[in-house]
Structure 1
Amino acid sequence: MSRNTYSRASDVSSEEGRVLLDGPDHVSIALTPEAALDLADRLTEHAAIAAGKRREAMVDHRPK
C-alpha cells in the first residue's frame, strides 16, 4: 500500500470532551481524551525512531 508523506501537522482541537483531528486528504476523526493521549505517546515514540533513522542515514559509516 502506497502512503503519502506530509510535512504539515494535522489540526487538533477539543470540543465537548472529545479531541478532534483534521488532517490532510479530508481525514477527520474524534477521539476520547484517553485515546488521544495514547495516540500522542505512540506518535512521539515513532517520530523519535524515524528521526533517528533519518539522522543515521545521513552519517557516512565508511572507515576513514
Structure 2
Amino acid sequence: MASKKIYEQPSTVTAEEGDVLIQGPDGVDVGLTPDAAEETSNRLLEGSMKARGQRHLKHYPHRSK
C-alpha cells in the first residue's frame, strides 16, 4: 500500500432511516446499506486481527515474510 496516513481515532457509526452512516477522521463520510456495513465490519475485524498479529510478531526472527 502506498504511503497512507494511519489514524488512531475510531470512526463514529450510526444508523439512520435504515442506512449505516460512518464518519471518521480526515473527512471520511460514508453511507452503507446494512448488508454492505455487515460485510465491511467482517473485513475490518479480519484485517484488525491480522494487523495485531503482525505487530505482535514483528520482533521475532522466525516471522513469515
Q: TM-score, normalised by structure 1?
A: 0.88
Matched residues in 2 for 1:7 and 1:26: separation? 14
Matched residues in 2 for 1:37 and 1:2: separation? 28
Unaligned 5+ segments in structure 1 are none
Larger Rg: 1
User: Structure 1 residue 7: deviation in Å?
Assistant: 0.8
Counterpart amino acid of residue 34 in structure 2: P
Matched residues in 2 for 1:2 and 1:57: separation? 19
Which deviations, in whole Å up to 9, do the C-alpha atoms of 1:19-41 show, x marking residues without a partner? 00001111101000000000000
Q: How does 1:15-54 map to 2 (within 5 A)?
A: 15-54=16-55
User: Structure 1 residue 58: deviation in Å?
Assistant: 3.2
Percent of pairs identical after alignment? 39
Matched residues in 2 for 1:53 and 1:2: separation? 18
